[in-house]
Amino acid sequence: MRPVLSATVAPDKSGQCVDFTVQEDYSGSWRTVVSSGCEKIGSTGTARDTLTLGNATGHLYRFAAEYVHSAADTSNANTSSAWQYFAVRN
């Protein structure tokens, strides 16, 4: 199974970027394990990325999405979602 991370930006910012960050709880500290880079926002205002984690069973993770405005978008600033938490089980 390869879960899909998804974020919707409103108002629609098609063609601009969302960056997904995934962190793992490692002995009580959060460490970044995946940073997607620019995932383009589609025509529905949604960006998606498929998540691949190795040896993840029994581990706690969290992810967030950050909207990264383009140079042409002078009316909006970068913004991040709240962290979403999940555990990987058998």
52, pLDDT greater than 90: no
What's the pTM value of the predicted model, to 2 decimals?
0.86
Q: Which domain holds residue 34?
A: 4-87
Other beta carbons within 10 Å of 5? 20
- Alpha-carbon distance of 49 to 40, in angstroms, equals 10
19 beta partners: 66
Backbone angles phi, psi at 60, to 5 degrees: -105, 135
2, pLDDT greater than 80: no
Q: For 45-62, what is the mean pLDDT?
A: 89
Per the structure, the count of domains in the chain is 1
11, pLDDT greater than 90: no
68 beta partners: 17
CATH number, domain containing residue 29: 2.60.40
| Local confidence band at 1 (pLDDT 50, 70, 90 cut-offs) | low
User: Sign of torsion, CA 82 88 89 90?
Assistant: positive
